Amino acid sequence: MSGANPSAPVVIVGAAMGGLRAAESLRRSGYTGAIRVVGEELHAPYNRPPLSKEVLATDVTHEAVAFPSRAEMGDVEWMLGVRASTVDLEARTLTTDDGQVQPWRALVIATGLRARRLDFRPIAGRHVVRSLDDAMALRAELTAGARVVVVGSGFLGCELSATASKLGCSVTVVTPSVEPMIRPLGSLVGQEMRRRLNVEGVEIFTGVTVAAINGGTSVESVELSDGRVVPADVVIESVGSDCNIEWLEGTGLDMGDGVLADNAMRAVTTEGVALDDVYVVGDIARFPNPMFDDVPRRIEHWNIPTDTGKRAGAVLAAHLADDGSFDDVVAKPFAPMPSFWSNQFEIKLQAYGLLGLVTDDDVRILEGDLADQVAVGYYRDDRLVGVLGIGMKAALLPYRKQIAEGGV
């Protein structure tokens, strides 16, 4: 690449948690130059987990979920409501959908994911939940008595089912899986979660897909692959997500699944070259975590945008400082502990590690009773690589430590 323009800003694309944490980390790591954050959404960065919970259930506004603005962020420039369309890594420019071509000194890729849609014609009553605007649009339709079909039984689908059910809706989950949340919880816990959701009144149809969404101007029913027809006023599609990588096409970055990064969160090209001035953070980043092995993976958990944003900011600040510290900062160990939680009715799930690395035979009950409070261990080659607690948060801490120390 050609030489950097030191007067150009560091440009962060994606104004959500990952982008915010990278900007904060740049400042905390001593970088005092210009930072510009370009984000497609009109809202300043906010917390997404409440979108499937409190935001649907109460009158929560952007203010209530917005991340606090820290003092060191005062001079960061925010370009909101603007979408990155292309980037030129040679010329070091970013083109946005308002026609501007912006120079950058270094680039941080933080564009995350978008909700995948079912391939049916648009019709009122169909929803996804990824953004605050999505959640607010859905909230208006989750009135007591509404018939809701949730397509997909991952964490998000199950959380949305629980929230809709608590609001008085009658909820049916439709899923091709054998059990809800089977990936990554496994069939033992998946089966138990199905039982618990059933007890709360959520109906779950497993092993089926959606054949059609019927209705005139709005949803009337959902036709399943086995011929059943489920009456519906609202369909919530929770069928996975896609990485927002289109603006990076033609850059030569490795975009096999998200964007490949090395352990310093530097973007890596298809030729295996890590770029010192292009970084990747958050849900879109596929990076190796030596806590488990050297296989790069994307991890869609809340702590990852924070941990990778901090790491990218620190490495990039050292690169820009050009004071000889770069190699030492890159060599610092970086092995973030994946962690997620999910609240469904009164069921509180908390997990550490990578549960999805494990096959069903390596899932063991560590403490408690599956039908009540329980800690479940996920083993690979006899090493603990993940732990899940249902209503057992504090008891997980020794297992968390064990995973961090190599699982033995």
Mask: binding to ligand FAD, 141-160, rule CB under 6 A, as x and -? ---------------x----
Contact between 130 and ligand FAD by CB under 6 A: the answer reads: yes
355 makes contact with ligand FAD (CB under 6 A)? no
Q: How far is the CB of 162 from ligand FAD (least distance, A)?
A: 12
Which span (25-33, 107-115, 171-179, 255-263) binds ligand FAD, by CB under 6 A? 107-115
CB of 229 to ligand FAD, least distance (A): 28
> Least separation, in Å, of the C-beta of 41 and ligand FAD?
4
Residue 13 or 232: which CB sits closer to ligand FAD?
Answer: 13
Residue number with CB closer to ligand FAD (302 or 379) = 302
At closest approach, how far in Å is the CB of 243 from ligand FAD?
A: 9
Q: How far is the CB of 220 from ligand FAD (least distance, A)?
A: 26
Q: Does 10 bind ligand FAD (CB under 6 A)?
A: no
For ligand FAD, how many residues bind (rule: CB under 6 A)?
34
Site map 281..320 versus ligand FAD, x via CB under 6 A = -xx----------------xxx--x---------------
Q: Return the number of the residue (110 or 355) whose C-beta is nearest ligand FAD.
A: 110
**Stretch touching ligand FAD by CB under 6 A, among 110-118, 161-169, 205-213, 381-389:** 110-118
Give min distance, CB of 282 to ligand FAD, in A. 2
> Is residue 38 close enough to count as binding ligand FAD by CB under 6 A?
yes
Q: How far apart are CA 378 and CA 291, in angstroms?
A: 15
Q: Does 51 bind ligand FAD (CB under 6 A)?
A: yes
- 67 part of the interface to ligand FAD, by CB under 6 A: no
SS (H, E, C) the chain: CCCCCCCCCEEEECCCHHHHHHHHHHHHCCCCCCEEEEECCCCCCECCHHHHCHHHHCCCCHHHHECCCCHHHCCCEEEECCCEEEEECCCCEEEECCCCEEECCEEEECCCEEECCCCCCCCECEECCCCHHHHHHHHCCCCCCCEEEEECCCHHHHHHHHHHHHCCCEEEEECCCCCCCHHHHHHHHHHHHHHHHHHCCCEEECCCCEEEEEECCEEEEEEECCCCEEECCEEEECCCEEECCHHHCCCCECCCCCEEECCCCEEEECCCCEEEEEEECHHHEEEECCCCCCCEEECCCCHHHHHHHHHHHHHHHHHHHCCCCHHHHHHCCCCCCCEEEEEECCEEEEEEECHHHCCHHHEEEEEECCCCCEEEEEEECCEEEEEEEECCCHHHHHHHHHHHCCCC
Closest distance between ligand FAD and the C-beta of residue 22, in Å? 9
- For binding to ligand FAD (CB under 6 A), which residues are involved? 13-18, 38-41, 48-49, 51-52, 83-84, 110-113, 129-130, 156, 244, 247, 282-283, 300-302, 305, 340-342
